[in-house]
Amino acid sequence: MKPRTRLKDLVELVRAPAALSVPGDVIAGAAAANRLGARTAGLAGASVLLYWAGMAANDWADREIDAKERPERPIPSGRVAPNTALGLAAGLTVAAVFAAGFTGGRRALKVAVPLAGAVWAYDLGPKKPGLMAACRALNVLLGANERPSMAVWPAATVFAHTYTVTVLSQFEVDGASPRLPSRTLAGTALIAAAAGGTPAAGALAGWYALRYGRPQLDAVRNPDAEHIRRAVGAGIVNLPALQGALTARAGAPVLGVTVAALSELARRLVRKVAAT
C-alpha cells in the first residue's frame, strides 16, 4: 500500500517558501508603472500560484532524472504520485490565470496567458535559461498591467538576475568550473548597479549584491555541486532584495524595504524546505 501524500510533501514539491521571491516582481512592475493598489495584491497572488504550478510541473517532467540524481524529492521517493503532481500543476495554473483575469481584466490576461505558456514550455522542454528569465520578466510586466512599457527597466533587471541563477542551477549536481560563478558574480555586480539610483535603492541593491555575491564568490573558490547549490539558493531567496531596490528606485522606498525584508523570511524558511 502506497503511503498517503501529506501536506508537507506538497509543500516540498512546490518549494512553497521560495514563492516569497515572486510577489516582488509584480510590485516592482506596478511601482514602475505607477499602478500600485489593491489590484497589485491580486496579481501578486496569481503569480505565486503560477510559481507553485511551475515547480510541480517541473518535478513531474523531471521525475526520471530526479530518480537518479535527486531520489529524495517527493515524486521519486514515492511520497507524491506523478499524476498528483501533474494534476496539482494544472489546477494551480488554471487558478492563477483566473485570478489574474479576475483582478486585472483582459489586459492582465494578455500577460498571464503567455506567462503560463512560458512556464510550461520551460518545464516540459529544454531548460533554457533565457526562457526562465523571460518568465520572470513577464511577471514584472504583469504588475504594470495597463502600462507595461513603463516597467521595461525592472523587467530587464529581473531577467538578467534570473538568467544568472538559472545558468548556475544547471550545474547543481555535477559542479562547474570557477569560470562560471566568476561570470555570474560579475553579472550580479552590474545588476546591482542597475537597480540603484536613489539612496534607498542603492542600499537595498548593495544588500542584494552582498547576500547573493558572497555564495558565488565561495563557488569561485570551490565550484563543487554543494557550493553551486548554495549560490543558486541564495539567488532565489535574495531576489526580494533586488525587487525591493527596484521598487524604491520607482519612488516607493518604504514598500521597497518591506519587499526586501521577504529575503530574510525566505532565508529562514528554506532551512526547513529547500528552495531548489
pLDDT at residue 273 is higher than 90: no
Nearest Cα residue to 139 out of 163, 120, 169, 112: 112
**Grid coordinates of 261:** 525584508
Cβ-contact 15, 274 below 8 angstroms: yes
pLDDT at 16: 87
Nearest to 145 by CA among 33, 245, 9: 33
Rg (CA), the chain: 18
For residue 119, what pLDDT is reported?
A: 97
**Whether pLDDT at 8 is above 80:** yes
Judged by DSSP in three states, 74 sits in coil
CB 180 within 8 A of CB 227: no
pLDDT given at position 53: 97
Longest dimension (CA), the chain: 60
Read off the pLDDT of residues 193-238 as tens digits, 9 standing for 90 and up: 999 999 999 999 999 999 999 999 999 999 999 999 999 999 999 9
Residues 6+ apart with CB under 8 A from 203: none
Q: Where are the domains of the chain?
A: 16-269
How does pLDDT run across 100-121, given as a tens digit for each residue?
Answer: 999 999 999 999 999 999 999 9
Q: Who contacts 221 (Cβ-Cβ below 8 Å, separation ≥6)?
A: 178, 227
Kindly tell me if the per-residue pLDDT of 20 is higher than 70: yes
Give residue 3's pLDDT. 60
Q: What is the pLDDT of residues 143-166, one digit of tens each?
A: 998 788 899 999 999 999 999 999
Could you tell me what percent of the chain has a pLDDT over 90?
87
CA distance 154 to 160: 10
CB 204 within 8 A of CB 245: yes
Residue 2: what pLDDT? 59
pLDDT confidence tier of residue 170, bands split at 50, 70 and 90: very high
Q: CA separation (Å) from 43 to 16, 57, 251? A: 18, 21, 20
Rounded CA separation 163/232 (Å): 11
User: How does DSSP classify residue 270?
Assistant: T
Average pLDDT, the chain: 94
pLDDT tens digits for 52-88?
999 999 999 999 999 998 899 999 999 999 999 999 9
pLDDT at 1 over 80: no
User: Would you say residue 124 has pLDDT above 60?
Assistant: yes
